[in-house]
Amino acid sequence: MSKITIDIPIVKVPDHPEWPELTEHEEAELKHSIKDMLEEQNGVLVAHYYTDGRLQDLAEETGGCVADSLEMARFGTESRADTLVVAGVRFMGETSKILNHEKRVLMPELKATCSLDEGCPADLFSAFCDRFPEHTVVVYANTSAEVKARSDWVVTSSIALDVVRHLKERGEKILWAPDKHLGKYIQKTTGADMIFWPASCVVHEEFKVFALQRLRALHPDAAVLVHPESPEEVIDQADVVGSTTALIKAVTQMNNLKFIVATDAGIFNKMRQLAPEKELIEAPTVGEGATCQSCAHCPWMGMNSLQNLYDVLKNGTNEIHISPELARKARIPIQRMLDFAKTKR
Ligand code: 13P
Ligand code: SF4
């Protein structure tokens, strides 16, 4: 790996939001009103696997989807809805808007960002790209519309390896941003010539290898599942490394009855639904002398709730706006990924 130093902003991690407990009656009322409003407004709910399980379930019950970031992007383009309500983080709503400029895109909370997005400001990133004009710029979906517009390819964790292999076969050198851990994993796996932007995911960065090894020794029959935004030494412990979809698939398809899971704990909702007989254990986020900021719960994903979902549908607030020119530029590398993904289906 080339040694390049870049000063990136320090990301302030918010506290995990505390939502008031709802009575069974209040919850049922909220869900009922949300369902009615989605129908009246010809809207669909598109939720990520890390959001509150009630939002995930509601998305599926109402004809929307719960998915990884690639599938969320795809779902919006294939839907006939006029309104997409994206329960996830800001880049997911922006990607939906970029791909569906004629649709209204709402989000329960516009401040729900991502440490990777925050750690890669467009002006600094653009200056970095200018220094390496001979590199193909590949950015992870967890970035702003402006950063996407500066790239040649956008990728998500489920397609990143395939895209980089493809570029390597074409003899291209890659400038990768913003997740250094995912970038390193891809480089190690593909052998591609890559330089990296040094941001990271505050949630996955907290998984601790020594504690994981100890946990593993206590459960020798468990398979270890790791999202590739985790540090290299944690990835090295994995039986399966992959996107949220790939990790869910592993739980349903592997014969193991126990799994240690190193990703946001919101994913357990879908894993439990699909494989109720399997035991799921959270990978440790606290090592000796360390405390966790997020403790395997993304604080920004946690900003989505039934209450603010209800509010945006009721008031039509929190709409994502992206200028047509920016959307046009950012759509090119996203569409390139979607077209490439079709060849892999
Ligand atoms: P996936 O695309 O694997 O769902 O990941 C998105 C994400 O933000 C993981 O932290
Ligand atoms: Fe971003 Fe990490 Fe949260 Fe995913 S889990 S949205 S990468 S901060």
Rounded distance from Cα 276 to ligand 2 centre (Å): 26
Per-residue model confidence (pLDDT) at position 345: 74
What are the residue boundaries of the structural domains of the chain, listed by start?
Answer: 24-113+301-321, 116-200, 204-282
Is the pTM here over 0.85, yes or no?
A: yes
Hey, whose CA ends up nearest to atom 1 of ligand 2?
114
Task: Please list the helix, strand and coil fractions of the chain in percent, rounded to the nearest 5, in that order.
Answer: 45, 15, 40
Per-residue model confidence (pLDDT) at position 106: 98
Smallest Cα–Cα separation from 160: which of 238, 89, 243? 243
User: Is the CATH code 3.40.190.10 the one for domain 204-282?
Assistant: no
Hey, whose CA ends up nearest to atom 7 of ligand 2?
201
Per-residue model confidence (pLDDT) at position 288: 55
First to last CA, the chain: 32
Hey, whose CA ends up nearest to atom 6 of ligand 1?
69
In terms of CATH architecture, what is 24-113+301-321? Answer: 3-Layer(aba) Sandwich (3.40)
Cα–Cα distance for residue pair 317/302, rounded to 1 Å = 19
| 229 Cβ inside 6 Å of ligand 1 | yes
Per-residue model confidence (pLDDT) at position 100: 96
pLDDT digits (tens, 9 = 90+) for 275-300: 999 999 999 997 555 677 778 999 99
User: Is the CATH code 3.40.50.10800 the one for domain 116-200?
Assistant: yes
Hey, whose CA ends up nearest to atom 4 of ligand 1?
68
Cα–Cα distance for residue pair 293/16, rounded to 1 Å = 9
Q: Which residue ranges of the chain lie beneath pLDDT 50?
A: 1
CA distances from 312 to 43, 166, 332 (A): 12, 41, 30
Per-residue model confidence (pLDDT) at position 287: 59
Per-residue model confidence (pLDDT) at position 290: 63
| 68 Cβ inside 6 Å of ligand 1 | yes
Smallest Cα–Cα separation from 93: which of 155, 50, 142? 142
**Do 242 and 263 contact (CB within 8 A), yes or no?**
no
| 201 Cβ inside 6 Å of ligand 1 | yes
Written as six digits, the tokens of 284 are: 């440790």
The residue whose CB lies within 8 Å of the most ligand 2 atoms, and thus the one to mutate among 202, 261, 293, is 202
Q: Which ligand has an atom closest to residue 16 CA?
A: 2
Per-residue model confidence (pLDDT) at position 344: 84
Question: What is the chain's alpha carbon radius of gyration, rounded to the nearest angstrom?
Answer: 20
Cα–Cα distance for residue pair 327/127, rounded to 1 Å = 21
**Do 297 and 228 contact (CB within 8 A), yes or no?**
no
What number of residues does the chain have? 345
Per-residue model confidence (pLDDT) at position 121: 98
